[in-house]
Every structure is written in C-alpha cells, then in structure tokens.
Amino acid sequence: MLKSIGNTLKVMWLILLFCVSHSVFASDSWQITSPNDERLFLQISTEFDKPDIISLKKDEQTLFERKMNRVSLAGVCLDKVTASPSIILSETMEGVGVQQLTVLSHKTNWQALHFHHMDQLEDCYPAQTGWLLDDQPMDCICDFSEQERTQAFYTGWYSLLDSFPRGLHWDQTTKQLNSVLINDELGLNTLLTQARHNNTVVFDKFVDGNHWLIIEFNNGIYQSLSLGLVHQGKQWFVWYYVTGNSKAFHAIENIESPQTNELNATFCVEDCQWWGELANVNIDLANQSIEIMDEH
C-alpha cells in the first residue's frame, strides 16, 4: 500500500515538473507575407512571472521589440495610407487589469498606437489585399491616420507637462492661484495651434491684459486631459492640469462666467491622480483669488 502511494506521488511529481517546465517559457509565432513574397515574422514570447515580449523581424533583423503585459494577437490588417501591415494586439494594462488594443504600424519606423476599446477601430473594413497571415488571406484594411494625430496631440501635452502637479494650482492659505511657468514656449505654441484646430479650447477670455484658456481633450480615460492656462507678462502658466487615471478623469466642469472677471466651475482640488476631491470654485480672474463655494 505504501509502495503504491509512493509510486503515485512520484508520478504526480513528474507530471508537475513537466507542467512547470513547459509553462515557464512559451512562444507563438506568425508569418506575414506580402503579394511579392516579402516576409515578416511576428513572435510573442511568454515566460512565467515576467512580461511578454513582442518582436517583429525581417530577414533576422529585429524591426520592433517591446515588453507587454499578457498580450495576444487580435488580427493583422493592411494600413490604407502606407500599404504596410498593421498588427493589432490585445494587452492587459499592468496594475489596472483593463484591456486595451495596441496597433503596431509602420511609417518611417514601427510605432505603437493605443486604442482603449474596439469601437475606436471604426476605420477598418473588409477588403482583399493579397497579403497572407500564415496561409490565410489578410483581407482587411484600416486607416489609423486620425488616431495617429490624436495620440500625437495627447503625447505632446503629456511630454510638456508630465512633471507638473495635477489638479488646481492654488495656495490654500492665501486663497490665490499659484500657477506654474511653462518654459517650452515653442512647443506650447504648436500645441495651442492644434488645440484651436481640433476644437478642444472650451474657454477663451481676456481679462486685464491676461489671456485665460481652458482646454479639454477626451480620447478614452487614459489619453484625456483637462488644462487651465493663463498668458501674462509674455509668458504662459498652468493653473489647472489633470489627466485620466484608473479611477476618474477630473475635467473642469460646469464652466460659467457670470461676470466679466469671474470663472465659476467644478475643479479637482485634492488627490487628483486618484479618486480626487472636487469643489465648486469661483475664481476672480482680475486678482486671481479663489473662493471655495462647496466641496463634493
């Protein structure tokens, strides 16, 4: 009896070792073939307790490689603009658990575009391309040009302001705005031109020679921003800035200007990179004083 139990345990141990050894590392690969027989090789490598690695190669040359979290291939379509394949991947965002789509597309080099739901792939449609994914026809075409412009707009602001604190910039003792100077005036002016072009300026007012702007950009919670700017003394300053996070996107809401020098709105005043504390605030744009009307 004991010998039988011992043999059973040995077999179970061998099975366990086999399963562990075969789950520690695994990979899936695909071949993407053009009509003139040029070939790309896509591979997703998975190793236990480590990020997945996505790699794209041609003739043994690595064109793109990146670590991603629990990634899988969702599909491959032809880019309408470049006539090159776009690789659509499904990824779980680390620390959040939310699925997003990442598209590898080729312009001058391979780049990653992020979509936060399938509906954003609205510019894709079935069509014969002559390309193959393994031995199956790759019969779909996508136009990602609008998403590329959208992502570049958000990335520009994020790069410019990433070090800036989130929320309303004010001194709680003096009840005055405590705006932060933007040093990169050239980069800012480019983004302001784009903001006016894509209609993301939601408040635009001059008071006593100062120019007040509010910009709101919505592109899924993880690529959205709300921004308050003031131009004074030939320089631009930030007085409000938030981006979307896994809990909320605290955009400036309920914007009103009942008097020439007044701005009434709902702002995030505390903990703005998380749940956030909101308040209805009255800002005197002439002397830049703040009155908290009520907190939510």
**Percent share of the chain, pLDDT over 90:** 63
- pLDDT score of 245: 82
Is 200 found in the same domain as 126?
A: no
Q: Which two tokens stand for residue 169?
A: 């910039």
- 265 burial level (CB within 10 Å; 0-12, 13-18, 19+): buried
Q: Which two tokens stand for residue 109?
A: 């080099």
Is 186 found in the same domain as 90?
A: no
- pLDDT score of 118: 67
- Is residue 256 domain-resident? yes
- Is residue 33 domain-resident? yes
Is 39 found in the same domain as 137?
A: yes
- pLDDT score of 136: 93
Confidence of residue 231 (pLDDT cuts 50, 70, 90): very high
Last residue of one domain, picked from the residues 110, 143, 176? 143
Last residue of one domain, picked from the residues 113, 143, 173? 143
Is 234 found in the same domain as 118?
A: no
- For the chain, the average pLDDT equals 87
- Is residue 112 domain-resident? yes
Evaluate if residue 23 carries a pLDDT over 60: no
| Cα–Cα distance for residue pair 213/221, rounded to 1 Å | 22
Is 98 found in the same domain as 183?
A: no
Look up the domain containing 53 and give its range: 22-143
pTM of the shown model: 0.76
Is 177 found in the same domain as 138?
A: no
| Cα–Cα distance for residue pair 180/169, rounded to 1 Å | 8
- Is residue 13 domain-resident? no
Instruction: Tell me the sheet residues that pair with 29.
Output: 43
- Is residue 244 domain-resident? yes
Among 57-66, 91-100, 238-247, the range scoring the smallest mean pLDDT is: 91-100
- pLDDT score of 16: 41
- Is residue 174 domain-resident? yes
More confident residue, 78 or 123: 78
Mean of pLDDT values over 173-185: 94
More confident residue, 241 or 145: 241
Q: Which pLDDT tens digit goes with each residue over 93-149?
A: 766 667 778 899 988 889 888 876 666 677 889 999 999 999 999 999 999 888 888
Is 208 found in the same domain as 135?
A: no
- Is residue 79 domain-resident? yes
Domains identified in the chain, total number: 2
Q: What are phi and psi of 138, to 5 degrees?
A: -100, 80
- pLDDT score of 49: 78
| Cα–Cα distance for residue pair 250/242, rounded to 1 Å | 7
Evaluate if residue 24 carries a pLDDT over 70: no
Evaluate if residue 44 carries a pLDDT over 70: yes
- Is residue 152 domain-resident? no
